[in-house]
Structure 1
Amino acid sequence: MMNIAIIGSRGIPAEFGGFETFAEELAVRLVQRGCQVTVFCENSQQYRQSVYKGVQLCHIRTPNIAGLRSIWSDLTGIVTCLQGYDVVYMLGYHTAFLFFLPCMFGVNFFVNMDGLEWQRKKWSSFIRAYLKVCERLAVYCVPHLIADAKAITDYLTSTYPGSALKFNTIPYGAIIPEDTDPDAVRELGLMPDTYDLVVCRLEPENHVLEIIEGYAASSSDRTLVIVGDHHSGSDYVDTLLQVAGDRVKFLGTIFDSYKLTVLRQHCRAYLHGHSVGGTNPSLLEAMSCGNYVIAHDNPFNREVLADRGRFFRDAEGVTKHIDDLDARGISPEFGKAMKERIRKKYDWETITDLYLQRFFETCKTGR
């Protein structure tokens, strides 16, 4: 029985973002395949039991100080995992200055390299420089690296020569949900198929401003619904609120997966502006609902969508696609093609098997 530790997320069951959902989906499936799995959780987690669906949970007391909380959580997790585990899987590299510890102790240590975090415009110049250094440290220090998109692997291996043998590309996954009742979307104050949808953090690299401006310039009479924290008070969010007109409706942050599925299944189209991540969970979830996707044109989104998406580079591109959509409508085959791509490329069961195979090979050969 392989004993695996997963650290770097806030914990499971998922209450926050992509890493938490990833940890839950992977850990539960690894347990189902006979592994013993421990997920390290911050004490901010509402779920306080020691076991979740067969996964052991180790809750870490962390200071309630942003930044320091995650550093302390990662440090505690890494030190705890120096002995007793066949594989330790770290999600993210923002504490890469700690990664020498498991390497010194001969731990089978894997790191998920996430996206190009240092490119996020929300960070100060200092933090962006720090994250770039952490990226470099992780690539050169850690023996086993996972990227969730080929475009991330290509970037890292070209930026850091000699690192190619360390990398495996294993994507994020998604589940095709059951159909939801159209009446459920009415409870959110919307009518089915009368709105287009955005779900993201309201940050510059997610191109929300371009989406709003492009939508406003279109001739569509539909509503643009945006799910994200519009009460943050950031300069960027203030700009969004100023630019948004009557056809834009902000719903705030929604973590409830059922409500998000309802919104996705009963929208007309999903607009996806993410540009610095790898395989983005929100995009996969839209595809799993059969959404017509209009996405920012970058290598990550093109890799995920292949020939099934529509792409924009600026506000004018958004306007063009919305007007074309109003004029031509959507073929039912489009949604079927999206779901089929999820089944073939982003199925959690297949992804779990890839992880299990990689972990087993490392435990057996040390490589």
Structure 2
Amino acid sequence: MKIAMIGQKGIPAIYGGVERHVEDLSRELVKQGHDVLVYARAWYTSKALNNYHGVRIIHTPTIHTKHLDTISHTLFSTINALGQNCDIIHYHGVGPALLSWIPRIFSPHTKVVVTFHCIDRYHQKWGVLAKFMLSLGEKAACTFAHHTIAVSKTIQSYCLNEYHTKVEYIPNGVVVAKNTGANLLEKYKLEPNKYILMVSRLVRHKGAHFLLEAWQMARSQNPELFKDYKLAIVGGSSFTDDYVDELHYIARGDKSIIFTNWMHGQILEETYANCALYINPSENEGMPITVLQAMAYGRPVLLSDIPEHLELVSDRNFLFRNASIVDLAEKITKLIKNKELCTTVGLENKVLAKKSFNWNNLSKQTLAVYTAKEKVKLARLKPVRA
């Protein structure tokens, strides 16, 4: 099959869960003999790169602003894909799904698939108009696509309840982690098993400010316990410079907090593989690939107790009340004190990631969706009159 991927910024993934998802899925599909086109933005993927591990990369124009970047790139990519005689056009995200009606009209032989990665309108960075457009994108994802995929059971239920549409659940995956060293950590003065890690875009709903304040609280209450530990924040701005400035203000003068900006490749792998504890304090998620990646490296993960995280972790030792700085500080302290528990659970996480979130299996499930009959649209239930 010839498959076009639209909605991502590009590959290889420098940052972003959608980009990591598309890269890993596309490479698996190529291994299975399919022709995969990934549409990219020149500011993210170099124009000199037109093939990545057998995945063809096509650059199309974009208007690189906060509100127009995604939708303009999706439009130009969709127009290009109409001329590629694709079997599948696969949109990633509810923003790009706004235009999923175009191939339904102008290329009726092409099957349209949308992956619903996250309920983006809940994100605090968007204004009223953007949130309205994202809600229309949700409806489009559940209406125009032949098939809709949800990356979490929470999103699957949301589509059923809000749009009366039965969608397929296929979670995000990870490439099974390989053994890695710790040779590159010295660049940031990090020591194996002596730092806590967060990897994320620095946007408010991801909750980095909660983690910074909880870290400072835990250190002030237990200075001897944390004297050799650091907190590494890996990531950067996503049209959120003011928020990044706020984070640096919170951390001012604290040499135990390291902002690395974006990482990718070997140094990112080493950073995951050698952390003492991975923390995701997010207030809203789809199915966080960064958490899955940490689990694949056998690391313990401490998560906010939002529904999407509860699909990954049930042990209350590794959950804290969403947005509670006090509870997060207490859990950090408890887990750093209990290395044996962290080691045991980390190994369990590795087994779970390999078993349930392996792209080799998930790509086959995606192919099954590509070849399946059209999804079912459920009728609204009408109240029964006595």
TM-score (norm 2): 0.86
- Which amino acid in 2 is paired with 1:217? M
Match of 2:303 in 1: 295
Count residues with an aligned counterpart.
361
**In structure 1, C-alpha distance between the alignment counterparts of 2:171 and 2:352, rounded to whole Å:** 13
- CA 1:46–1:295: 2 relative to 1, 3 Å: same
Deviates more, 1:234-243 or 1:137-146: 234-243
1:41-190 → structure 2 map (5 Å cutoff): 41-44=40-43, 45-46=45-46, 48-82=48-82, 84-104=85-105, 105-106=107-108, 107-161=110-164, 163-164=165-166, 167-190=167-190
Residue 290 of structure 1, CA deviation: 1.2
**In structure 1, C-alpha distance between the alignment counterparts of 2:96 and 2:183, rounded to whole Å:** 45
1:281 aligns with 2:292: no
Deviates more, 1:42-51 or 1:85-94: 42-51
SS of the residue corresponding to residue 363 of structure 2 reads: helix
Match of 2:382 in 1: none
- Which amino acid in 2 is paired with 1:92? G
**In structure 2, C-alpha distance between the alignment counterparts of 1:271 and 1:281, rounded to whole Å:** 13
**In structure 2, C-alpha distance between the alignment counterparts of 1:61 and 1:169, rounded to whole Å:** 32
Match of 2:234 in 1: 227
- Answer yes or no: is the 8 Å Cα contact 2:173–2:289 preserved in 1: yes
- CA 1:324–1:136: 2 relative to 1, 3 Å: same
- Which amino acid in 2 is paired with 1:116? I
- Which amino acid in 2 is paired with 1:34? G
Q: CA RMSD in A?
A: 2.4
- Which amino acid in 1 is paired with 2:333? D
Alignment deviations for residues 159-187 of structure 1 (CA, whole Å, 9 cap, x no partner): 122x12xx111111112322322343223
**In structure 2, C-alpha distance between the alignment counterparts of 1:247 and 1:330, rounded to whole Å:** 28
- Answer yes or no: is the 8 Å Cα contact 2:91–2:97 preserved in 1: no
- CA 1:223–1:350: 2 relative to 1, 3 Å: same
- Answer yes or no: is the 8 Å Cα contact 1:40–1:57 preserved in 2: yes
1:330 aligns with 2:340: yes
- Which amino acid in 2 is paired with 1:93? V
Match of 1:5 in 2: 4
1:264-275 → structure 2 map (5 Å cutoff): 264-275=272-283
Q: Which runs of 5+ in 2 are unaligned?
A: 377-386
Match of 2:352 in 1: 341
- CA 1:23–1:328: 2 relative to 1, 3 Å: closer
SS of the residue corresponding to residue 371 of structure 2 reads: helix
- Which amino acid in 1 is paired with 2:139? R
- Answer yes or no: is the 8 Å Cα contact 1:228–1:250 preserved in 2: no
**In structure 1, C-alpha distance between the alignment counterparts of 2:51 and 2:40, rounded to whole Å:** 11
**In structure 2, C-alpha distance between the alignment counterparts of 1:30 and 1:295, rounded to whole Å:** 31
Matched-pair identity in %:
26
**In structure 1, C-alpha distance between the alignment counterparts of 2:312 and 2:230, rounded to whole Å:** 26
- Answer yes or no: is the 8 Å Cα contact 2:147–2:369 preserved in 1: no
- Which amino acid in 1 is paired with 2:94? Y
- Which amino acid in 2 is paired with 1:290? G
Deviates more, 1:302-311 or 1:24-33: 302-311
Match of 1:319 in 2: 329
- Which amino acid in 2 is paired with 1:180? T
SS of the residue corresponding to residue 113 of structure 2 reads: strand
Alignment deviations for residues 183-227 of structure 1 (CA, whole Å, 9 cap, x no partner): 432232122222111111222211222212222222242222212
Match of 2:201 in 1: 201
SS of the residue corresponding to residue 330 of structure 1 reads: helix
Residue 145 of structure 1, CA deviation: 0.6
TM-score (norm 1): 0.90
- CA 1:231–1:20: 2 relative to 1, 3 Å: closer
**In structure 2, C-alpha distance between the alignment counterparts of 1:261 and 1:203, rounded to whole Å:** 22
Match of 2:17 in 1: 18
SS of the residue corresponding to residue 146 of structure 1 reads: strand
- CA 1:205–1:156: 2 relative to 1, 3 Å: same
- Answer yes or no: is the 8 Å Cα contact 2:211–2:281 preserved in 1: yes
**In structure 2, C-alpha distance between the alignment counterparts of 1:23 and 1:238, rounded to whole Å:** 30
SS of the residue corresponding to residue 5 of structure 1 reads: strand
- Which amino acid in 2 is paired with 1:339? K
SS of the residue corresponding to residue 287 of structure 2 reads: coil
